[in-house]
């Protein structure tokens, strides 16, 4: 049984894992890049070791350096979090070779599910429905794919075999545009995963993205912790997740849960995993892929089940039985998560970097914030733009939405632009409130421009605010110019003065 856990990740998820270890009395080892010396995970862990320069491939993706830190620190287990090395079969195998417990599934399960084409073949055999697409496993050339595409039918999706997070994914509407999209999908997959292989899948229109949380121990027990609705996405990046899905009833939930368990059993799955499904308008569901790791959005499941998923992962990795049977898993209320990203929603969601100078985190009843940043922390372009997850719980979905609105209004982050206004607009949208959305909702039927006319009362307040700030600035510069003893020439002062008024 391991006693010291190395957390091979950064940001909020590293903090989340360290917290679970602390609560269970396990020692923790953090690793960090040069950009993350002052990050929260480094400060919270019992030990911390530098990996290398800021870019991921010189730090958090360096399996050799991470394993060396494990040896030096005497860590006997590694939690990979999500992203980076979490779904790398070779890394999990190396851990096993060195006698280090990999907190996650067996390398064989990562391999079987990690290769998306092989995963499809495996679950088809277990009787799980999949989205129609290329069935051949392995490296298909562009010529092969172009030949097969018309038999699947357009629109279709090009997806990275090693994929995840929407990287290397392209939507194709016609054969003519396919060669260029294949090239850009392969290029993105190559840079993100070091593997440019792609496959094709029919695009299900009007689909919802609904996933099931799976927990499995080494004793053959496999349960699910219900579903998460993840249809609110932009460029295949999830932005909001909730549990339960407003689209499922108990019957469909049971049916999909049973299938999810079956898919996990097909690869002898152990530890926490997620079965992602597409559900069409007619409630047909299709297996999409299995994520063989902890998910970003795991907290919504934790809030409605009361189960600490990370603590359960640690238990399972120590060879213990699951703490719950399927019958003991009860759902209570409704949870919503908003991913707070350093992106400007008023400027086409362009990433925003800079130092966080000020931050007020919402608290109060039913509110949880998982974050790895704090005032003084620098948001760099090296890692993904998520800076926090704001999660709320309510007795009903309506209460959860009201609570989320309240918490979003309280949240203040200064120094970078965030997508909080996007979430506020979404929480006010009638379609979201009514649960009427699919995976295309944000891109096709949502706008930051509120449909209603300019709210004059609010506009007047905005006008007053801007005027008062402008007035303050004018006053301040006027005082400086009037000052007697200047440290620079009057011409320079005039130049600065004029610049203030441009």
CA–CA distance, 156 with 237 (Å, rounded to integer): 18
Q: Is 465 in the site for other proteins (CB under 8 A)?
A: yes
Determine the interface stretch with other proteins among 141-149, 196-204, 452-460, 483-491 (rule: CB under 8 A).
Answer: 452-460
Q: Is 71 a catalytic residue?
A: no
Nearer to other proteins, 24 or 414 (CB): 414
Distance CA 81, CA 424 (A): 29
Strand partners, 370: 389
Asked if residue 53 binds other proteins (CB under 8 A), the reply is no
Residue 464 binds other proteins, judged by CB under 8 A: yes
Nearest-approach distance from CB 173 to other proteins, in angstroms: 16
Choosing from 269, 383, 393, 441, the residue that interacts with other proteins (CB under 8 A) is: 383
Determine, following the binding rule CB under 8 A, whether residue 385 of this chain makes contact with other proteins: yes
Alpha-carbon Rg for the chain, nearest whole angstrom, is 25
User: Rounded distance, CA 265 to CA 258, Å?
Assistant: 11
215 close to 166: Cβ distance less than 8 angstroms: no
Q: Is 127 helix (H, G, I), strand (E, B) or coil?
A: coil
CB of 387 to other proteins, least distance (A): 11
Shortest distance in whole angstroms from residue 449 CB to other proteins: 10
SS3 labels along 359-403 = EECCCCCCEEEEECCCCCCEECCCCCCEEEEEEEEECCHHHHHHH
Residue keyed to tokens 């097909």: 266
| Residue 425 in contact with other proteins, rule: CB under 8 A | yes
Enumerate residues 147-206 that contact other proteins by CB under 8 A.
165, 167, 184, 187-188, 191-192
* Residue 233 Cβ vs other proteins, minimum distance, rounded to whole Å: 14
- DSSP, collapsed to helix, strand or coil, labels residue 136 as coil
Give the SS3 label for residue 437: coil
- Interface with other proteins (CB under 8 A), residue from 408, 429, 439, 441: 408
Pick the stretch among 11-19, 121-129, 262-270, 466-474 that binds other proteins (CB under 8 A).
Answer: 466-474
CB of 275 closer than 8 Å to CB of 227:
no
Q: Does 462 bind other proteins (CB under 8 A)?
A: yes
Residues 6 or more apart in contact with residue 175 via CB below 8 angstroms: 146, 149, 150, 154
Residue written as tokens 């460029």? 235
Cα angle value 474/478/482 (rounded, 5°): 175
- Residue 284 lies near other proteins (rule: CB under 8 A): no
240 binds other proteins (CB under 8 A): no
Rank residues 395 and 473 by Cβ distance to other proteins and give the closer one: 473
- Residues 305 and 332: their CA atoms lie apart, in Å, by 6
Give the active site residue among 62, 120, 293, 368.
293
Interface of this chain with other proteins, residues 340 to 369, rule: CB under 8 A:
342, 346-347, 350-353, 357-358
Q: Which is nearer to other proteins, 294 or 404 (CB)?
A: 404
CB proximity list for 475: less than 8 A, separation 6 or greater? none
Q: Which residues bind other proteins (CB under 8 A)?
A: 165, 167, 184, 187-188, 191-192, 235, 342, 346-347, 350-353, 357-358, 381, 383-385, 408-409, 412, 414, 420-421, 424-425, 428, 448, 450, 454-456, 458-471, 473-474, 501-502
Residues with a known catalytic role: 293
């Amino acid at each position: 049984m391991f006693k010291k856990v190395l957390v091979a990740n950064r940001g909020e998820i590293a903090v989340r894992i360290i917290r679970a270890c602390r609560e269970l009395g396990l020692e923790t080892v953090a690793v960090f890049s040069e950009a993350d010396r002052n990050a929260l995970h480094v400060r919270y862990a019992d030990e911390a070791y530098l990996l290398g320069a800021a870019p991921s491939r010189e730090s958090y993706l360096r399996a050799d350096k991470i394993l060396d830190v494990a040896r030096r620190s005497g860590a006997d287990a590694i939690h990979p979090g999500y992203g980076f090395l979490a779904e790398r079969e070779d890394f999990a195998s190396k851990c096993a070779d060195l006698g280090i417990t990999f907190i996650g599934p067996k390398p064989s399960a990562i391999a079987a599910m990690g290769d998306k084409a092989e995963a499809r073949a495996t679950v088809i055999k277990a009787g799980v429905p999949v989205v129609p697409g290329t069935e051949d496993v392995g490296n298909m050339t562009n010529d092969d794919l172009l030949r097969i595409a018309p038999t699947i039918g357009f629109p279709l999706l090009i997806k990275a075999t090693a994929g995840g997070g929407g990287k290397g994914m392209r939507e194709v509407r016609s054969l003519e545009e396919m060669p260029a999209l294949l090239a850009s999908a392969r290029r993105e997959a190559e840079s993100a995963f070091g593997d440019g292989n792609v496959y094709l899948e029919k695009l299900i229109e009007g689909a919802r993205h609904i996933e099931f949380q799976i927990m499995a121990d080494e004793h053959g027990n496999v349960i699910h912790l219900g579903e998460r609705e993840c249809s609110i996405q932009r460029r295949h990046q999830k932005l909001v997740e909730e549990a339960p899905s407003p689209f499922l009833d108990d019957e469909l939930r049971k049916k999909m849960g049973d299938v999810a368990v079956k898919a996990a059993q097909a690869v002898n799955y152990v530890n926490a995993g997620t079965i992602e499904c597409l559900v069409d308008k007619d409630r047909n569901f299709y297996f999409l892929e299995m994520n063989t790791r902890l998910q970003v959005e795991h907290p919504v499941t934790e809030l409605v089940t009361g189960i600490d998923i990370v603590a359960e992962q640690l238990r399972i990795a120590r060879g213990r039985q699951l703490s719950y049977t399927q019958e003991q898993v009860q759902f209570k209320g409704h949870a919503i998560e908003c991913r707070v990203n350093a992106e400007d929603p008023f400027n086409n969601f362009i990433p925003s970097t800079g130092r966080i100078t000020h931050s007020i985190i919402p608290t109060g009843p039913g509110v949880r914030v998982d974050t790895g940043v704090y005032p003084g922390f620098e948001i760099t372009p090296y890692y993904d733009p998520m800076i926090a997850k704001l999660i709320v719980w309510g007795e009903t979905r309506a209460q959860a939405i009201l609570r989320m609105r309240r918490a979003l209004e309280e949240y203040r982050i200064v120094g970078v632009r965030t997508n909080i206004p996007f979430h506020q607009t979404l929480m006010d949208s009638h379609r979201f409130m009514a649960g009427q959305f699919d995976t295309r909702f944000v891109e096709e039927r949502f706008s930051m421009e509120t449909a209603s006319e300019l709210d004059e009362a609010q506009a007047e307040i905005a006008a007053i605010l801007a005027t008062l700030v402008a007035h303050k600035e004018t006053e301040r510069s006027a005082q400086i110019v009037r000052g007697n003893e200047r440290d620079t020439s009057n011409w320079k002062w005039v130049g600065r003065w004029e610049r203030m008024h441009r």
